[in-house]
């Protein structure tokens, strides 16, 4: 029987990384839960075995329930009834099966009914569910909003809300408004304190809210009257059971039809403050967005895989000119690049999620006790590198998902343009990945400081220290050459005026991503040549051409050239 | 009322995707080529049992299976989905059983379990396709039976209301408890394995499944629920003569792997002559009559 986890050993490979031991030891606090919970692991090996079992269950559900439902969900979509959003009928089936499988509250501690999974495992589940239905992945993975409530909410709020998520209640993050999209500082939804009832009240409109009719919302609202920037914004918890929020409209979208995008009206809706006032945007939403960006990276990898699978299966079956089309160089060129982007992009995703896991686990331990100086240092190190890697993982993978979906249609030829084939849906679904949770252009903005301050370069140089398999040494030598070009390009960027700097940043961002992924896939191919040797060859070849191209572009660019680019 | 439910389930070779190597030269099933799975309609039965458990708090669901020690997997699969316990009948004395000896062993085990309100299993197993075991168990226990069940609608006042799948439609029947129910494949599919239950029971085994060198062997002393019930012929006080090969009047002479080919097909029209010749052929082959 098909299984989206066991069918792709490339996913499970990433559980073998040496950092996993540290992550699991931190996350499980020396396996103290085993005395109290029958499902808690007794040691590291047991924890990894648990992760594999959960991935196996999810792979089964994804292949045999969610994927078969995905076409109907895409065609039906959600609809509006008396101010409430009604999912496509098979979305309810998907929700039911994930609840029965216990795949909710997965990142939460066991005392709140959760599974205490690290982000790396959560991202794997996300990827698998996304491969089956990217729209449903949104509905499911928005449960990770609970991480923010856990981090910044009171113990009372944790006890009230987290067990409900572990039971399968859904979440949303209500951030954007008609005039506040990428620029969240302009949020106007009004929060006022109701002295009489000793609670906050929310009034206003939110727009483009994914899964906006969820059970528990995290809402960004302006609590400080008269303020106009991010410092006047706070984060609130709205419980649907209290009422006061209606769905006014559901957007008709190009893709991810299973994921309802709602416009919400708040009419004196009762809400609880989460954390402190004024920290809503500058602290809490930033944490929320970082988690969400990693979620989109996982969603993208899922679609990269599915687009590749669809193309590969079609190319093996379809014959033209008396031969299966998979035997034509023009076709296997596309297929091999799809697979290389998938393998390299996935490696970047899980490297990022491991960095996130270490610092988040230490942060959580710091809520219970004082960290040792070594631990504090470790937390700082991984927090910084996770911040640097997250925009790379999100931006690069969301672009790769689009490229793979495009190539998947190309491999299908005319059939790919027909609505009966899945690749057209993947193409429509993928388009939003490089837009929401920050466009690729904004991922570049988030990453550029680490380009100019040399953080990536230092990391790349550290990665170059790793030993690679004998037969991969020539590839490594080629990457070393790319790093030299990169270093030169970084120096040019640092020396350029502000407009040229912003203009060239994307090229440097792509170079950074491609060099880091080249090194990651090289390492993977060293450890598991049977899985990654081909992709390492293909990826480095491709990265080499791109990095050289970007280098030439940056090197030959002059400030006065900008005039020719300015749109009028 | 709380119910004591026993689910009959069988580990079978997956005959749904049969390849060229499915049979050995001697006509027996090549078990190495066919993965062992949970008989599909038994999963439908398990789902009905688990729904009853949810509707009637305090109920228990136990998995009863007979087979090799590796059939412990059937009990684990039940536990992963919400069953409470299980019993594996495993013993050389049970080996080679036909449906009569199987139903004798199962019925004897059910008596040993005692006070069972509902015995529920799949309509039939995909390896034998006999659909005899459920009805025979009912007969041996002297219980009512409802076959081809699609949904147990309710249990009230000591009676089960059950919708059956019949030719050309459905019918709803009532049966007093205790009752034996066999479930049709058109019933609701079984729920998935639950993450927490899988983590809890993943090392649960019956003693004969163990090699003794498992890295988690210590857990068997600390966690009694990791040891599954394993019953022999003697454990259920069964008559050895009625078990296994000796209790089985059915003797398999040979098994033939038949693959129909297009050239063996025959096209018949609706003419009287064609119908007549078909009826005659079926009578001659003793397929009808």
Spacing of C-alpha A524 from chain mean position: 21
Interface check B195 vs A, CB under 8 A: yes
Instruction: Tell whether A187 and A65 lie within a shared domain.
Output: no
For chain A, the first-to-last Cα distance in angstroms comes to 57
Q: Nearest residue on chain A to B192, judged by CA atoms?
A: A101
Taking only residues 221 to 260 of chain B, the set having a beta carbon closer than 8 angstroms to any beta carbon of chain A reads 223, 225
3-class secondary structure, A220? strand
Distance, in angstroms, between A113 CA and closest chain B CA? 10
Distance, in angstroms, between B197 CA and closest chain A CA? 7
Taking only residues 107 to 146 of chain A, the set having a beta carbon closer than 8 angstroms to any beta carbon of chain B reads 115
Q: Which domain, by its residues, includes A222?
A: 171-278
Question: Any idea which residue has 């059910």 for tokens?
Answer: B110
Q: What is the pLDDT of residues A214-238, one digit of tens each?
A: 999 999 999 999 999 999 999 999 9
Interface check A338 vs B, CB under 8 A: no
Tell me, yes or no, whether A1 lies in a domain. no
Instruction: Tell whether A417 and A307 lie within a shared domain.
Output: yes
Nearest to A39 among B196, B215, B219 (CB): B196
Task: Give the integer Cα–Cα distance in Å for A509 and A450.
Answer: 10
Instruction: Tell whether A222 and A153 lie within a shared domain.
Output: no
Report strand pairing: A190-194 vs A199-210. antiparallel
Cα A288 to Cα A148, A230, A283, distances in angstroms = 6, 15, 9
Mean pLDDT, rounded, for A84-108: 98
Output the pLDDT for position B27. Answer: 63
Interface check B199 vs A, CB under 8 A: yes
Nearest to B68 by CA among B250, B213, B205, B219: B205
Q: Are B202 and A49 in contact (CB < 8 Å)?
A: yes
Asked whether A144 and A122 are in contact (CB, 8 A), the reply is yes
Output the pLDDT for position A40. Answer: 97
Task: Give the integer Cα–Cα distance in Å for A173 and A440.
Answer: 20
Tell me, yes or no, whether A517 lies in a domain. yes
Nearest to A61 among B192, B200, B225 (CB): B192
Question: Any idea which residue has 């960004």 for tokens?
Answer: A220
Q: Is the dihedral of CA A298, A302, A303, A305 positive or negative?
A: positive
Instruction: Tell whether A175 and A322 lie within a shared domain.
Output: no
Task: Give the integer Cα–Cα distance in Å for B104 and B100.
Answer: 6
What architecture does CATH give domain B4-247? 3-Layer(aba) Sandwich (3.40)
Interface check B51 vs A, CB under 8 A: no
Q: Where among A219, A249, A278 does a domain terminate?
A: A278
DSSP, residue by residue, A238-306:
EEGGG--EEEEEE---SS-TTS-EEEEEEEEEEEEEES-TT-IIIIIIHHHHHHHHHHHHHHHHHHHHH
Nearest to B199 among A50, A60, A100 (CB): A50
Instruction: Tell whether A68 and A162 lie within a shared domain.
Output: yes
Q: Are A102 and B196 in contact (CB < 8 Å)?
A: yes
Nearest to B102 by CA among B113, B115, B91: B91
User: Residue A156 half-sphere exposure, CB side, CA atoms within 13 Å?
Assistant: 5
Cα B105 to Cα A354, B63, B239, distances in angstroms = 53, 14, 9
Output the pLDDT for position A554. Answer: 97
Interface check B217 vs A, CB under 8 A: no
DSSP, residue by residue, B112-162:
HH---SEEEEES--TTT----HHHHHHHHHT-EEEEEEEEEEEEETTEEEE
Instruction: Tell whether A89 and A230 lie within a shared domain.
Output: no
Spatial neighbors of A386 by CB under 8 A, at least 6 apart, are A290, A352, A355, A356, A359
Output the pLDDT for position A368. Answer: 92
3-class secondary structure, A35? helix
Residues of A in contact with B197 (CB under 8 A): 39, 102
Q: Nearest residue on chain B to A116, judged by CA atoms?
A: B196
Instruction: Tell whether A202 and A308 lie within a shared domain.
Output: no
Residues of B in contact with A97 (CB under 8 A): 191-192
Asked whether A267 and A244 are in contact (CB, 8 A), the reply is yes
Distance, in angstroms, between B115 CA and closest chain A CA? 29
Q: Are A57 and B192 in contact (CB < 8 Å)?
A: yes
Instruction: Tell whether A371 and A309 lie within a shared domain.
Output: yes
Q: Is the dihedral of CA A492, A497, A498, A504 positive or negative?
A: negative
Select the residue from A36, A41, A53 to test the B interface by mutation, using most B Cβ atoms within 10 A. A53
- What is the percentage of chain A residues whose pLDDT exceeds 90? 98
Q: What is the pLDDT of residues A295-354, one digit of tens each?
A: 999 999 999 999 999 999 999 999 999 999 999 999 999 999 999 999 999 999 999 999
Q: What is the pLDDT of residues A129-159, one digit of tens each?
A: 999 999 999 999 999 999 999 999 999 999 9
Rounded (5°) CA angle A153-A157-A163: 115
Interface check A46 vs B, CB under 8 A: yes
Instruction: Tell whether A236 and A273 lie within a shared domain.
Output: yes
Q: Are B195 and A60 in contact (CB < 8 Å)?
A: no
Residues of A in contact with B199 (CB under 8 A): 38-41, 50, 53-54
Tell me, yes or no, whether A452 lies in a domain. yes
Nearest to B215 among A45, A53, A60 (CB): A45
Nearest to B66 by CA among B253, B235, B255, B251: B235
Q: Are A38 and B191 in contact (CB < 8 Å)?
A: no
Instruction: For residue A162, give the CATH number of its domain.
Output: 1.20.140.10
Instruction: Tell whether A113 and A23 lie within a shared domain.
Output: yes
Task: Give the integer Cα–Cα distance in Å for B55 and B31.
Answer: 39
Task: Give the integer Cα–Cα distance in Å for A148 and A360.
Answer: 11
Task: Give the integer Cα–Cα distance in Å for B89 and B94.
Answer: 8
Which residues are B175's β-sheet partners?
B160
Q: Where among A363, A397, A430 does a domain terminate?
A: A430
Nearest to A551 by CA among A497, A491, A502: A491
Nearest to A38 among B194, B195, B200 (CB): B200
Task: Give the integer Cα–Cα distance in Å for A298 and A129.
Answer: 10
Output the pLDDT for position B26. Answer: 66
Nearest to B202 among A45, A53, A97 (CB): A53
pLDDT in tens, chain B (289 residues): 899 999 999 999 887 777 777 777 766 667 777 889 999 999 999 999 999 999 999 999 999 999 999 999 999 999 999 999 999 999 999 998 899 999 999 999 999 999 999 999 999 998 888 899 999 999 999 999 999 999 999 999 999 999 999 988 999 999 999 999 999 999 999 999 999 999 999 999 999 999 989 999 999 999 999 999 999 999 999 999 999 989 999 877 776 767 777 777 888 888 999 999 999 998 988 888 6
Q: Where among A261, A278, A295 does a domain terminate?
A: A278
Instruction: Tell whether A405 and A445 lie within a shared domain.
Output: no
Q: Which DSSP symbol is given to B29?
A: B
Instruction: Tell whether A157 and A203 lie within a shared domain.
Output: no
Distance, in angstroms, between B74 CA and closest chain A CA? 16
Nearest to A236 by CA among A162, A175, A324, A296: A175
Instruction: For residue A451, give the CATH number of its domain.
Output: 1.20.120.470
For chain A, the domain total comes to 3
Q: What is the pLDDT of residues A396-434, one digit of tens each?
A: 999 999 999 999 999 999 999 999 999 999 999 999 999
Residues of B in contact with A55 (CB under 8 A): none
Number of H helices, E strands in chain B: 7, 11
Q: Nearest residue on chain A to B80, judged by CA atoms?
A: A101
Asked whether A449 and A443 are in contact (CB, 8 A), the reply is no
Interface check A103 vs B, CB under 8 A: yes
Task: Give the integer Cα–Cα distance in Å for A252 and B229.
Answer: 56
């Amino acid at each position: 029987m098909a299984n989206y986890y066991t069918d792709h050993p490339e996913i499970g490979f990433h559980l073998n990384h040496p950092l996993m031991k540290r992550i699991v030891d931190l996350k499980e606090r020396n396996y103290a839960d085993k005395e109290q919970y029958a499902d808690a692991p007794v040691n590291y090996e047991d924890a990894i075995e648990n992760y594999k079992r959960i991935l196996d269950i999810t792979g089964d559900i994804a292949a045999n329930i969610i994927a078969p439902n995905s076409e109907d969900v895409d065609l039906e979509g959600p609809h509006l009834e008396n101010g409430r959003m009604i999912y496509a009928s098979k979305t309810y089936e998907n929700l039911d099966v994930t609840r029965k499988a216990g795949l909710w509250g997965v990142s939460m501690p066991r005392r709140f009914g959760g599974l205490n999974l690290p982000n790396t495992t959560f991202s794997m589940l996300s990827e698998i569910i996304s491969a089956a239905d990217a729209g449903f992945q949104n509905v499911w993975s928005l449960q990770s909003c609970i991480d923010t409530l856990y981090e910044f909410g009171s113990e009372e709020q944790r006890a009230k809300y987290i067990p409900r998520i572990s039971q399968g209640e859904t979440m949303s993050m209500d951030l954007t408004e008609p005039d506040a999209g990428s620029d969240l500082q302009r949020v106007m939804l009004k929060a006022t304190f109701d002295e009489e009832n000793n609670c906050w009240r929310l009034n206003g409109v939110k727009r483009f809210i994914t899964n906006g009719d969820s059970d528990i919302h995290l809402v960004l609202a302006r609590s400080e009257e008269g303020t106009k920037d991010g410092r006047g914004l706070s984060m609130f918890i709205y419980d649907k059971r209290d009422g006061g929020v209606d769905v006014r409209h559901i957007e008709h979208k190009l893709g991810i039809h299973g994921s309802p995008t709602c416009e919400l009206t708040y009419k004196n809706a009762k809400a609880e403050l989460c954390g402190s006032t004024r920290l809503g945007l500058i602290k809490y939403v930033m944490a929320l967005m970082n988690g969400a960006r990693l979620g989109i990276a996982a969603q993208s990898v899922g679609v990269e895989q599915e687009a590749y699978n669809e193309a590969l299966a079609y190319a093996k079956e379809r014959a033209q000119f008396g031969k299966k089309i998979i035997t034509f160089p023009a076709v296997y060129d596309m297929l091999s690049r799809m697979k290389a982007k998938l393998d390299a992009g996935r490696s970047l995703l899980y490297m990022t999620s491991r960095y996130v896991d270490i610092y988040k686990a230490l942060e959580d331990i710091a809520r219970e006790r004082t960290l040792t100086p070594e631990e504090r240092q470790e937390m700082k190190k991984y927090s910084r590198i996770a911040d640097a890697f997250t925009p790379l993982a999100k931006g690069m993978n969301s672009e790769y998902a689009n490229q793979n979906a495009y190539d998947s249609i190309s491999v299908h030829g005319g059939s790919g343009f027909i609505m009966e084939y899945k690749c057209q849906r993947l193409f429509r679904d993928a388009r939003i990945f490089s837009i929401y949770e920050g466009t690729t252009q904004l991922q570049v903005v988030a990453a550029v400081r680490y380009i100019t301050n040399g953080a990536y370069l230092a990391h790349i140089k550290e990665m170059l220290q790793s030993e690679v398999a004998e037969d991969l040494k020539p590839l490594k030598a080629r990457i070393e050459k790319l790093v030299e070009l990169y270093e030169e390009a970084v120096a040019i960027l640092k020396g350029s005026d502000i407009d040229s700097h912003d203009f060239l940043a994307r090229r440097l961002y792509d170079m950074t991503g491609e060099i880091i992924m080249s090194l990651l896939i090289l390492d993977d191919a060293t450890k598991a040549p049977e899985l990654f040797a081909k992709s390492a060859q293909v990826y480095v070849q491709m990265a080499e051409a791109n990095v050289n191209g970007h280098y030439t572009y940056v090197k030959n660019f002059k400030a006065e050239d900008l005039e020719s680019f300015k749109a009028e | 009322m709380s119910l004591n439910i026993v689910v009959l389930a069988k580990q079978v070779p997956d005959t749904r995707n049969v390849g060229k190597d499915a049979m050995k030269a001697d006509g027996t099933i090549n078990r190495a080529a066919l993965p062992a799975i949970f008989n599909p309609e038994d999963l439908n039965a398990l789902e009905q049992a688990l729904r009853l458990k949810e509707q009637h708090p305090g109920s228990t669901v136990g998995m009863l299976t007979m087979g090799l020690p590796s059939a412990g997997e059937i009990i684990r699969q039940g536990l992963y989905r919400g069953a409470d316990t299980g019993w594996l009948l495993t013993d050389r004395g049970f080996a080679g059983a036909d449906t009569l000896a199987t139903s004798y062993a199962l019925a004897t085990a059910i008596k040993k379990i005692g006070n069972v309100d509902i015995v529920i299993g799949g309509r039939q197993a995909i390896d034998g396709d006999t659909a005899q075991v459920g009805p025979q168990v009912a007969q041996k226990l002297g219980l009512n039976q409802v076959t081809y069940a699609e949904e147990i609608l309710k249990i009230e006042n000591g009676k089960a209301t059950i919708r059956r799948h019949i030719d050309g439609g459905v019918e709803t029947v009532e049966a007093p408890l205790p009752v034996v129910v066999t479930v049709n494949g058109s019933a609701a599919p079984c729920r998935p394995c639950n993450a927490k239950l899988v983590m809890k029971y993943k090392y649960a085994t019956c003693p004969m499944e163990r090699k003794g060198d498992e890295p988690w062997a210590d857990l068997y002393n600390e966690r009694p629920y990791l040891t599954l019930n394993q019953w022999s012929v003697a454990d259920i006080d069964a008559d050895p003569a009625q078990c296994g090969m000796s209790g089985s009047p059915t003797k398999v002479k040979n098994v033939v792997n038949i693959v129909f080919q297009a050239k063996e097909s025959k096209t018949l029209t609706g003419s009287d002559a064609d119908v007549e010749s078909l009826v005659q052929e079926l009578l001659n082959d003793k397929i009808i009559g």
